[in-house]
Structures are given as structure tokens and as C-alpha cells.
Amino acid sequence: MKLLSLLSIGVLFSLPLQANEMLTEVPATASAALPDRQAALPAVPKKVGENYLQPASLTDIPAGVFGDKVRLGYQLFVNTQTLRDKYVGNQLSCANCHMNAGQQANSSPLWGAYFAYPAYRKKNDKVNSFQERVQGCFTYSMNGKAPESGSPELVAISAYSYWLGMSGLMAQYNVSGPVPELSDAELVKGAMRDDFPMPEAIAKNLDTKALSQLPGRGFPKAPEPELAYAPERGMIVYQAHCQTCHGEDGQGQIIAGVAALPPLWGPQSFNWGAGMHRVNTAADFIYENMPLGKSVPLTVQQAWDVAAYVNSFDRPQDPRFDGDVSKTQATYHQHQGYYGQSVAGKPILGTDSYPVFPLKNTVKP
Amino acid sequence: MKTSFYVLTVLAGLTIVNIVQANAAEPQQAIPPAAQLCTSCHGAQGQGIDIIGPRLAGLSAEYITNQLKLFHAGKRQNPTMLAMAATVQGDNIGLVAQYFSQQPVADISLQFRGDKVAISDPSERLAFQGDWSRTIPACTSCHGPSAIGGGNFPRLAGQQASYIKTQLLAWQDGTRTGDVDNMMGNIARKLTAAEIDGLSQYFANIK
């Protein structure tokens, strides 16, 4: 318990220190000062006939130091388990929720996010650079520890995201030549800023606002379900369409020590602070992207119900937890989710949650 | 007609296999009686005999069990296996599945998704990166690193090319079914003939 609190304090205090290049005021105190403004992932209405950005092929990444950073970013994104115990505390990889290695439209593509940062983020009540957004992913979705600002890992993921987006834009607006190289300090900021070096041919077509709202960004908002979402109906959906891959017990398919198919709840999945624990975010994701390969479409109702089911099990603790579930719930969980609640007569979720950032060999299989 | 010929051949072969077995050094594990017949086409240790029978070693017990049941149910079709699968029923399904799932496969150095970034071979690229313009996920996202398989997902690494090809074609034309939501049929239908050839060779050569 104590360790947990210390850890979360450490994480929260490290953020302001990293943020000095960023604009606005930095919150003076840690978690207690933050109201529940944990922002949902962007849910944008999906329009028919939209053209999505087409990043260049990975075979086009140039040789050299800059290209090496882009390549490392791809590798970390696809097999994030190479960072297990260093920055990752569960069995997930970024590419589990960002299809096609973060390139797929409507699957929170990296190229969509890169041009939308720096941005004000309710989750920590300040303007976040792109790397700070990615640090949040490590803290919550990866149930781990955020790499330090400017670390090779964050530079690499930023470089990969930038390269995907910029190569796509250059193709769209007929800008020839290689993707312009940026310094590490430039890369980690993100592109939604006036001093971002944007080629003229692109800038005259898209201003920073338009770039921050590229079609295909985020997960498309799933239509509202006809009936209020219900985990008990979701269980039936899960058994019929999901458990072949994710397992009867939701623990995924582990092959050679790596989750080929990801655990959805329990100690090896995302924690209670991750966006995906929200029923609406999970429903958006599932409705658009699942089952993998889209052999059958789920109905809107099925997507919401199964999102509720998956998120009705316990998982690693919210890193902002300070020893009192009801307080943590009141402060951070005023949204569609089950933290602090009892589902189907089971113990209140959050009272006996799994550890934050456990070492791999301490997690029981 | 064809079937009974196969059955005869198999039964004749069985005797030979048994003799060979008796002379060989201590087998690693006794072949359960229910699996005897299987070994004549699939090999004593399920290593497979090309064209006649695919490799079973390296498949999970769960997967083998499932396949026997799918043959029983007519969701997988093969004249020889129709007759052969019928000989394995009840508790023997589990025994046979256990036996073959425990047989050794070559130790290969695993390639995980992300190990390679730029992949020029189109089959390897499909295997590790998929083709999302056609909503084809990477084969290895279910079949695991180097497609060694696990659970419901069969090992493809080192499987016979002829067998992989036959199966992809069967998924494609709907003569093989039985997946939840036709998961594999849906993928196979998106593959071109050249891709099926390429992938079959590619996986067979992972040794």
C-alpha cells in the first residue's frame, strides 16, 4: 500500500519537472488537487467517404541516425514487451489497441495524435507535449513507469509518430524528398504549435487546427445503445465472439512469453487509470476494430455490452489511488466505468485491485 | 472407393511402422493404442509425412481435439481423415491429442513482431505486418512469434507447404469451416492465389 502511494507520488511529481518547456501553469500539488477531468480519448463522429492519411511504407524509412529512431519507435510500439520491468508492468503492447502498428485510421493512429499535441489535457490539468501524452500511456495503459522526458524510448516513439504523419502529408500534398529530420527536442513536443517546421505546401492547405483534427483520428464515437449497457448481456457476447482469442478468463493468448493476443482484465492488463477502462471508450474501440480482421460486425448494443463486461472485472489499481477507493472514485471516476462499484454482487472494484507496475516474475500466471 | 484404398494402405503401413518402432531406440513416449493408426500417415512422433499427412507435433492438445471433432461434424473434409477420425472417439480424443501435442519440434530461434521493421519479402510482410488496406491482420498476431502457434491457433512454422496451401484454399472456398465467426475463412478469402502459395512456402521454411 505504502509502496503504491510512494510510486504514484513519484510519477505525479516527475511530470511538472519535465514540463518546463511547455506553456501554461503547472499544478502545484499532486493528485489531490486534480478534479475528475480525466479526458476521454477523442471520440469523433465517423464520416463516410473520408480520405485518410496514408503513411509511407516502413521500407521507406531512411538509413541513418534519424531513421534509426523511427525504426526503434516502430519496434517498441509493436513489441512493447521489450520494455517489461523497465517501463512496462503488464502483458500489453501499444499495437494491441492501435491497430496496424499505430497506422490504422479510426484506431487512434499515431499520425492523428502527433498533430494534436501539445494540447491541454484534463487528466493532469495542464498543457501536455506529445511525449507527456505517451508517458501517460506508460503510467496507465501499460501499468508501468513513464520513461523520463527526452529518453531514447520517448524520442523513438515521437520520431515514429512524426514520420508516419509527415510522410503521409507529404504524399498528399506532393512534397518531394525525404521527411525533414527534426532534433530530439523538437520531436517530443508534437506538431500543434506555431513554431513547428511545416513544409509550406502543407501549411497553406492545413492550419494547425485542421491538422489536429485529421479524419480518422481517435476512435470513432459508437452510436448510443438502445438499452443501457449491461455486463450480463456482455458476457454472452464475449463467449460468442471474443473468448476464442482472449480466453475464457480474459487473460489473452500468451505464446513464448509474449501476449500474441492481449489480456483484457486482471493483473496483466491496463490499470484503472487507463482510458480503456471507460465503457464508452472501450465500446468505441470495439465497435470499430473488433473482432480482429472484422469477420463479423458486432451490433452497437453488443459492442457496449461487451465493453461493460470486460471492464467489470478487477485490474491493476489506479495509480492515483491514495488508500481510499471511494475518494479515488469520487475524484477521478465520475464517468462510465465500474471503479468503486460492485458488479453482480462481487466485491467493490478497486478494493482489492492488482499492483501497479509489478515485476514480471512476481505476477502469478 | 478411394477411401477404402487409403484405409488398406494405412493398415498395411501400420504393421511396418510397428516393426520399425520395435527396433528403434527406446521411444520417448509410448504411443497410445488409439494413436497407432494416426502414426502411419502422421509419423510415429507426429512429425508428418509429406503429402500423406501433415505434422501434428507442435499443435496444442486443444487444437487437435477440436479438429477431430470438426472432422466428426463434417466441418473439415478429407476422405481419408473422415474415416480415420471416426476411429478416434470418446476419451481417446483427449489421449491422442495429448500424445501428439507432446511430441518434439525443432528448436527455432523466434522472430517476434517488430523484430524486423522493413520487410521486403511479401509473404514475410503479411506474416508479421498484415495488409491493413484489406483488413488482414498479421498472421503472427494470432499464430504467435514465428507462427509457432498456441491454444486454438495452430503452429504453421515448419508445417508442410502442400498442407498449408490446401487448407488456405479450403478456408477460401468454404469446405473448411468451424472457426468462431469464420475468422480464418474471412482472412483466406482476402488472399490471392500467389499469396497463398507464398505464405505456404514461407511458413514451411521456418525450421
In CATH terms, is domain B122-204 a member of 3.40.50.720? no
- Among the partner-chain residues B112, B142, B182, the one whose CB lies closest to the CB of A258 is B112
* Residue A72 belongs to a domain: yes
| Chain A residue whose CA is closest to B110 | A256
What is the rounded distance in angstroms from the CA atom of residue A274 to the CA atom of residue A329?
14
CA dihedral B43, B47, B49, B55 (to 10 degrees): 120
Contact B196, B169 (CB under 8 A): yes
If one counts every other C-beta atom within 10 angstroms of the C-beta of residue A270, the result is 25
Both A239 and A205 in a single domain?
A: no
Mutate one of B124, B131, B140, B141 to test the A interface: name it (highest A CB count within 10 A). B141
Residue A319: CATH number of its domain: 1.10.760.10
Is residue A216's pLDDT more than 80?
yes
- Put simply, the answer to whether B115 touches A75 (Cβ < 8 Å) is yes
Both A235 and A181 in a single domain?
A: no
pLDDT score of A131: 96
Both A197 and A256 in a single domain?
A: no
Residue intervals of chain B classified under CATH 1.10.760.10 are 2-101, 122-204
Segments forming the whole domain that contains residue A327: 231-362
Both A206 and A244 in a single domain?
A: no
If one counts every other C-beta atom within 10 angstroms of the C-beta of residue B102, the result is 13
- Among the partner-chain residues A79, A260, A293, the one whose CB lies closest to the CB of B135 is A293
Confidence of residue A332 (pLDDT cuts 50, 70, 90): very high
- Among the partner-chain residues A82, A247, A256, the one whose CB lies closest to the CB of B148 is A256
Is residue B19's pLDDT more than 60?
no
Both A78 and A213 in a single domain?
A: yes
Last residue of a domain, one of A191, A218, A245: A218
Is residue A20's pLDDT more than 70?
no
Average pLDDT on A235-264 reads 96
Average pLDDT on B27-45 reads 90
| Chain B residue whose CA is closest to A100 | B132
- Give the whole-number percent of chain A exceeding pLDDT 90: 83
Please enumerate in sequence order all residues whose Cβ is within 8 A of that of A299, keeping only pairs 6 or more positions apart, or say none.
Answer: none
Q: Residue window 157-186, chain B: list those with CB within 8 Å of chain A.
A: 179-183, 185-186
Contacts of B141 in chain A (CB under 8 A): 260-261, 292
* CATH code of the domain made up of B2-101: 1.10.760.10
Instruction: Tell me how close the Cα of B113 comes to any Cα of chain A, in angstroms.
Output: 6
Last residue of a domain, one of A169, A187, A218: A218
* Residue A98 belongs to a domain: yes
Both A140 and A191 in a single domain?
A: yes
Both A83 and A198 in a single domain?
A: yes
B117 Cβ under 8 Å from any chain A Cβ: yes
What is the rounded distance in angstroms from the CA atom of residue A10 to the CA atom of residue A33?
15
What pLDDT digit, counting tens, does each position of B161-186 carry?
999 999 999 999 999 999 999 999 99
Both A36 and A153 in a single domain?
A: yes
Contacts of A256 in chain B (CB under 8 A): 110, 112, 144-145, 148
Last residue of a domain, one of A161, A186, A218: A218
CA distances from A243 to A19, A187, A252, A291, A344 (A): 42, 40, 8, 10, 20
As a whole number, the mean pLDDT across chain A is 89
What pLDDT digit, counting tens, does each position of B84-122 carry?
999 999 999 999 999 999 999 999 999 999 999 999 999
Burial class (CB in 10 A: 0-12, 13-18, 19+), A320: buried
- Among the partner-chain residues B118, B130, B150, the one whose CB lies closest to the CB of A260 is B150
What is the rounded distance in angstroms from the CA atom of residue A61 to the CA atom of residue A74?
11
Number of domains in chain A: 2
Both A140 and A21 in a single domain?
A: yes
What pLDDT digit, counting tens, does each position of A42-82 carry?
777 777 777 899 999 999 999 999 999 999 999 999 999 99
* Residue A61 belongs to a domain: yes
C-alpha cell at B132: 491493413
Both A262 and A346 in a single domain?
A: yes
* Residue A224 belongs to a domain: no
Enclosing H/E stretch for A253 = strand A253-255
Both A85 and A165 in a single domain?
A: yes
Both A209 and A305 in a single domain?
A: no
What is the rounded distance in angstroms from the CA atom of residue B96 to the CA atom of residue B87?
11
- Put simply, the answer to whether B153 touches A58 (Cβ < 8 Å) is no
Strands A219-220 and A43-44: parallel
* Residue A58 belongs to a domain: yes
- Put simply, the answer to whether A244 touches B183 (Cβ < 8 Å) is yes
ipTM of the complex: 0.88
Mutate one of B62, B110, B115, B117 to test the A interface: name it (highest A CB count within 10 A). B117
A100 Cβ under 8 Å from any chain B Cβ: yes
